[in-house]
Structure 1
Amino acid sequence: MNSNRRNFIKKTSLVGAGIALTPNLSKANLFSTNRPSEAVYMGGFAAPKLDTVRIAFIGVGARGSGHASQFAAIEGTEVVAICDLYDDLAKKSEKVCKEHGKGERHKNIKLYTNGENDWKKMLEEQKPDAVVIATPWEVHASMALGAMNAGSHAFVEVPLALTIDEMWQLVDTSEKTKKHCMMMENVNYGREELLYLNMCRQGVIGELLHGEAAYIHELRGQMNEVERGTGSWRTYEYAERNGNLYPTHGLGPVAQYMNLARGEDNFKYLNSFSSPAKGRALYAKENFPADHKWNQLNFKGGDINTSIIKTDLGRTIMVQWDETSPRPYTRLNLIQGTNGTLASFPTRIALEGGVEGATESHHEWAEGEDLQKIYEKYEHPLYKRLGELAKKMGGHGGMDFMMRYRIVECLRKGEPLDQNLYEGCLWSAVGPLSEASVAANGAPQEFPDFTRGSWKSTDALAIVE
């Protein structure tokens, strides 16, 4: 999508959803503690049970097609509609969904491919129970707002929104409509992430002190998707914004280890710094003609951003983001406590006094086959139940399927979701707050309390059996 088209989509989507954006919110608004009397706190909210979850999809491209396929494969779902800008993508997902239905489910899937606002018509006509949104970042919030106002639960790809103002609108709308608005952070369902969550809950590494989270994934090749695909819109994000644009894959699990916004601790403020912006411009120069539109962009976003979060209890979290530099993939996924440290990439553990059957002290890591006893003792019950099926179904090693399965399971059982609205907002808030901090030479930026103080009475995420 070119700049004019991106601006058009943003304006029409927001106007169509009935949103009044305020460019500069006052501090009083950002940190408001007043919840309207008709609103319901969504931290542990459980919606009424659904025997069958009627699902619609907005966006079935690179990410959304996987959502459509796997949700359709889960018992208790009915795919009722698919919306996309491209008719071929919609028809491809329709075919896959019907194959999963084996002629018994997903019989009457309605396609909506008539332009950028057809998703609104889909919501009005189909009235789905749940809407899965996998579109460019800038329209996530407007589509989620539209879905909730139409009576549907909203399940949104990461990040949940791009501005603090949008996040407050999502909070207010979810609380008013009593509809879920969950950011689908799949990494929280990775095997190691679930293992470490269980170990933290059982106190294996003592009192938690520090975490390290990242999304370091070289994705310059997406710039070859010039007219269609992820690179066609995401390249503009790298050019126009300078901060940590994609924090949630690394941060989500660490935040849940620490029970942030869940009774124990909460986000307080962050400081953020970006490196020079070099890699994207160099890639464009080396791979595209001099007059190509990528070579006309002024890439402002630093190649790597490092942000430091401070919590109410004084804990620290380092969050890094780099989708440009030539280096191996990592999410870091490190959590450090008074009795040891758990880390990933590669998976490794160090404990005071050593790891049973592997090491004799914390001066060396236990890793590889030496961790077998750790897995046997602390494997998360959810992975024990669903791990083999998840690996068979696929999606980033099975984490995608496990997330989708749990969404359906919670909706059908009438149970709270594993990730609540406020976590999605807080994890996503690193984006705009880091941009503000970078622009202010690293000055601290305070996190809004999207829960309006209710996090203090919110239960920790349960170790689901």
Structure 2
Amino acid sequence: MTSELKVGLVGVPRGSGFIRAFQTVNETALVAICDINTEVLNQVGDEHGIKERYTDFEQMAKSDLDVILVSTPMPLHVPQAVIALLEGKHVLSEVPAATDLEQCWHLVNAVKQSGKKYMMAENYTYMKPNVLVRELAQRGLFGEIYFGEGAYIHELKAGSERTKWRRKWQTGRNGSTYPTHSLGPVLQWFGERVCTVSCFGTGHHYHDPRGAHYENEDSTTMMCKTTNGGLIEIRVDMLSNRPHNLTYYSLQGTQGCYEAPRGFGDAPKIWLADYAEKMEWCSLWDFEEEFMPEMWRNPPEEALHAGHGGGDYFEIREFVDSIINDTKPPIDVYEALDMTVPGLVSEASINQGGIPLPVPDFREIQSFPDGLPEPLRDSEIISVQL
């Protein structure tokens, strides 16, 4: 392993937020960027002193890079990750991992075939409160965990006009198809996967500027049964007129419970039977000194200023460590699909009246029925409707 991993980034508008984090990790050098928008490409390249610039992704994937960060619109995550993996590159991909089950199959097979590291960049799992709750859960302090909640409430009607792909791939599909921010941390706390999904919606109350209803129902709720019989409730709402609440979670076990802040001065609160004389809430931060994992004890200044509560820095740090040490990435391809696939299945459930549907486990799928097309190449990728 070389002392410095050469990194390329595709999808400059979102990916530029990772540049400082990569520059902070001493074992990496971000040397190349790629985007079809040459104006943005050159603006970001000039700002950060990045000389290698590409408008052709396949050309960048064939260069002598070690790592590629995929931060393009959602339908491109798998096609570009597959190309990069098969060209011998490690891949860090933005969320969600895929937009349909066929893509999931292609992604798993590319990871197997290439032998390279793949990680999904679910930054909400690295936020400070979520990391501390995960540590408490893994130590068994909640007892047997049987219920959890996650909510991603982020009004995006104007954002769907500014960023056209969102209108099709986020507000243009029904169901909880953008689930990983809300589901990812809770799944880690449970230590299980989702096996069955039912999804319901509230109907359509809003129109886009052209007068069409959004295909996504305004607020969707995905009920997830886990492999050990637990229940996780996920709310995704990108349309309702209301202030944002992007990081609400709760967790219930036989020996403890947790609730994230709901805003307006609220604070993260917890009750653990082993540490309480009364059935009363206390601050989550009362447990920081004893239980906070090392990553958050003395975080570098760059982490504190990174996006998503430090998540953008820590996910890169741990991904790079998995390459250097040849260990499993913290959110490998299977865990990425554990966080993604329930949302894909929710689309089928909500369109069939909310019936419970099984969630496939791609650890067990050796082939996909009916055959599949070859993965998209770059000439086809740039023509995908965004």
TM-score by length of 1: 0.73
The one-character-per-residue Cα deviations of 1:8-63 (angstroms, maximum 9, x if unpaired) are xxxxxxxxxxxxxxxxxxxxxxxxxxxxxxxxxxxxxxxxx4421111111010x2
How far does the alpha carbon of each residue in 1:354-387 deviate from its partner, in whole angstroms, 9 at most, with x for none? 64xxxx422x3223xxx44311122122211426
Match of 1:428 among 335, 340, 352: 340
- Residues 433 and 445, structure 1, Cα contact 8 Å, conserved in 2: yes
Structure 1 partner of 2:231? 316
- Which residue identity lines up with residue 178 of structure 2 in the other structure? Y
Conserved in 2, the CA contact under 8 Å of 1:141 and 1:160?
yes
* 1:348 maps to 2:269: yes
Structure 1: stretches of 5+ with no match in the other structure: 1-48, 99-105, 226-230, 261-265, 285-293, 455-465
Which has more radius of gyration? 1
> Is residue 73–residue 97 contact of structure 1 (8 Å, CA) maintained in 2?
no
Residue matched to 2:181? 249
In the alignment, residue 401 of structure 1 is paired with which amino acid?
Y
How far apart, in 2, do the equivalents of 1:442 and 1:224 lie?
A: 29
Matched, 1:235 2:167: yes
1:274 to 201, 226, 231: 201
CA offset digits 1:207-264 (Å, max 9, x no partner): 1111111211122231441xxxxx221012345310012100111111111112xxxx
> Which one of 68, 73, 85 corresponds to residue 36 of structure 2?
85
Match of 1:377 among 259, 274, 290: 290
Q: In the alignment, is the contact (CA less than 8 A) between 1:50 and 1:411 conserved in 2? A: no
Q: Quick one: distance in 1 between partners of 2:27 and 2:185?
A: 28
Does residue 50 of structure 2 align to residue 76 of structure 1? no
Aligned equivalent of 2:278: 361
In the TM superposition, residue 176 of structure 1 has moved relative to its aligned partner by 1.3
**Which residue, out of 59, 67, 82, partners 1:121?**
59
**Aligned pair partner of 2:126 in 174, 189, 200:** 189
Instruction: Give the aligned partner of residue 407 of structure 1.
Output: 319
Residue matched to 1:327: 243
Partner of residue 57 from structure 1, selected from 9, 13, 26? 9
Identify which of 165, 168, 184 aligns with 2:105: 168
Listed as ranges, the gaps of 5+ residues in structure 2 are: 262-266, 367-386
Please say which of residues 440-449 and 376-385 is displaced more in the overlay: 376-385
Q: Give the aligned partner of residue 68 of structure 2.
A: 131
Deviations 1:91-141 (A, max 9, x none): 23323433xxxxxxx6xx31113xxxx1011112x1311110111111111
CA distance in 2, matches of 1:373, 1:331: 20
Going from structure 1 to structure 2, the CA distance change for 1:96 and 1:376 (only over 3 Å counts) comes to same
* Structure 1 position 300 matched with structure 2 position 215: yes
Q: 1:84-103 counterparts in 2 under 5 A?
A: 84-98=35-49
CA contact (8 A) 2:21 2:306 kept: no
Q: Given residue 324 of structure 2, which amino acid in structure 1 is its aligned partner?
A: R
Cα displacement string for residues 299-324 of structure 1 (whole angstroms, at most 9, x for unaligned residues):
22101110111112101111110012
Asked whether the equivalents of residues 53 and 411 of structure 1 are also in contact (C-alpha less than 8 Å), the reply is no
Please state how far the C-alpha of 1:432 moved relative to its aligned partner: 1.6
Deviation at 1:453, TM superposition (A): 8.7
d(CA) in 2 for partners of 1:387, 1:436: 44
Q: Using the TM superposition, give the Cα deviation of residue 161 of structure 1 relative to its aligned residue in structure 2, in angstroms.
A: 0.5
Partners of 1:183 and 1:416 lie apart in 2 by 12
Q: CA RMSD in A?
A: 2.0
Identity %: 29
SS of 2:61's partner is helix
Name the structure with the higher strand share: 2
Structure 1 residues 86, 384: CA separation in 2 closer, same or farther (over 3 Å shift)?
same
- Between Structure 1 and Structure 2, how many residues are aligned? 360
Q: Which amino acid aligns with 2:348?
A: A
The 2-side partners of 1:253 and 1:123 are apart by 31
Distance in 1 (alpha carbons) for counterparts of 2:321 and 2:17: 18
